[in-house]
Structure 1
């Protein structure tokens, strides 16, 4: 039985007396149903609102900042990826991290840019965009809605999402930033990045070397440890997988 069907049974066929005695259960069931029924466009709009809140809370590099200029140069060919418009910004914080959200927002942290080459940054961004293209970020947002205090966010008949409070958006933003994906989702995002690099004529080994750098960061301790490692485990094994694939493809010996 699929997820929607289970929720339908939960909300319709459970005895009314159960909900009367436990109103919190009824609200939880409706919240889960609402989040499950959100369309891709509605999830993207909620993600956009959450990213606006994140941008307001972080030091965003100005257009003339060297970090912004470097990022713009790296992504000059890639403002639309697989049909999705992408917008890029740099957070000038020392964390080694990057993320992408369902609306096509990509945020790269200064700490990551400091340790990666241009091609390695592109490989990591390709991986994060892969999560968007594969709908992993959409599903993470729906999970965030189910776990958050956000209530009744399902669309009205007009198809619009109500404006959330700053505290609600902050909660969603924090969840998206720390979202963890399954091993299969990570592998599929790796494959997307590999294919992206290969398709545009970049060296696919940049994906492997970026993982190897993250693996070293993960074992280093201190404030500079890559946050991205906590949500993207097994960096060494994933680097080796890229190398093995590149060898099979005849791209390396």
Structure 2
């Protein structure tokens, strides 16, 4: 797979919606859609249910690291203690792909790409995923799914005579998936998720300077071979350099700032050593 640099500042819940035929909302909500009512009910539970079905499909169609894989062992070691945050239950998995990315869904699913784990140490990963958790806690992922679903469902409702939708077809799911992938969090949402990440690090006793460091890494990547792609994707989001500067200002204000030194990155499973049986002394004793 060709390696693509995806700025963490514009990470979105890229959900796979193909080969599925799922019940999405209640009949009441569906009826509202059929009548063209724009303010239909879309609860946190609805968003979580849709996200769960989507992430299950993604997991089934991507190389997920096994529990014994070095990447999975590292992720569980770093984030195993954070399976719940602000009332949200979280679950983590690694996709064994070289893309530099991570995303979170409304159901609390967090997926980290191996490419990201190859370039960031534990503290930097904590900062990045703390940012993604912020999008879940702040309901950004719920709102993104709602906007995409609302747009697709209403488009279909306009041409439907029945005014009732029991299920979402494969073609609709494909269109909905494209709409979700094209959607991005706003600058305000990204800034609030950045603040959540910083406070997450500070609250849990981690080095807050890793937040700046993570964005500096992205800043350097944006100046590389894929800079044009980064520039395009960052068009509606804060640039990594500014976000790094903001993190530095927060740390300085709190009296915590120091130049961050990246720690050793180890994504390999620990080597198991087999204890050797003691060697028996078979020498004949002299009488």
Could you say which structure has the greater relative contact order, defined with CA pairs below 8 angstroms and 6 or more residues apart? Answer: 2
Report if the CA contact (8 A) 1:214-1:226 is conserved.
no
Kindly provide the CA deviation profile for residues 109-155 of structure 1, in whole angstroms up to 9, marking residues without a partner as x: 11111100111011100001101101111110111112336857xxx
1:188-207 aligned at under 5 Å gives the runs 188-207=192-211
Report if the CA contact (8 A) 1:60-1:90 is conserved.
yes
1:143 correspondence with 2:111: no
1:33-44 aligned at under 5 Å gives the runs 33-34=39-40, 37-44=41-48
Kindly provide the CA deviation profile for residues 45-87 of structure 1, in whole angstroms up to 9, marking residues without a partner as x: 1111111122122111111111111111110210111111101
Unpaired runs of 5+ in structure 2? 1-31, 158-164, 259-287
What does residue 30 of structure 1 align with?
36
1:1-253 aligned at under 5 Å gives the runs 30=36, 32-34=38-40, 37-148=41-152, 164-222=168-226, 230=234, 233-252=238-257
Give the TM-score, by structure 2 length. 0.68
1:178 and 1:108 mapped to 2: Cα distance? Answer: 20
Relative to its length, the structure with more helix (as a share) is 1
How far has the Cα of 1:28 moved from its partner? 8.0
Structure 1 residues 81 and 170: CA distance shift in structure 2, 3 A: farther
Structure 1 residues 51 and 232: CA distance shift in structure 2, 3 A: farther
SS of aligned partner of 1:148:
helix
Q: CA RMSD in A?
A: 2.8
How far has the Cα of 1:30 moved from its partner? 2.1
2:185 and 2:202 mapped to 1: Cα distance? Answer: 24
2:172 and 2:57 mapped to 1: Cα distance? Answer: 10
2:61 and 2:37 mapped to 1: Cα distance? Answer: 27
SS of aligned partner of 2:110:
strand
Report if the CA contact (8 A) 1:61-1:90 is conserved.
yes
1:123 and 1:143 mapped to 2: Cα distance? Answer: 27
Structure 1 residues 106 and 119: CA distance shift in structure 2, 3 A: same
Unpaired runs of 5+ in structure 1? 1-25, 153-160
SS of aligned partner of 1:236:
helix
How far has the Cα of 1:179 moved from its partner? 3.3
2:178 and 2:75 mapped to 1: Cα distance? Answer: 24
SS of aligned partner of 2:36:
helix
Structure 1 residues 62 and 244: CA distance shift in structure 2, 3 A: same
Structure 1 residues 170 and 54: CA distance shift in structure 2, 3 A: farther
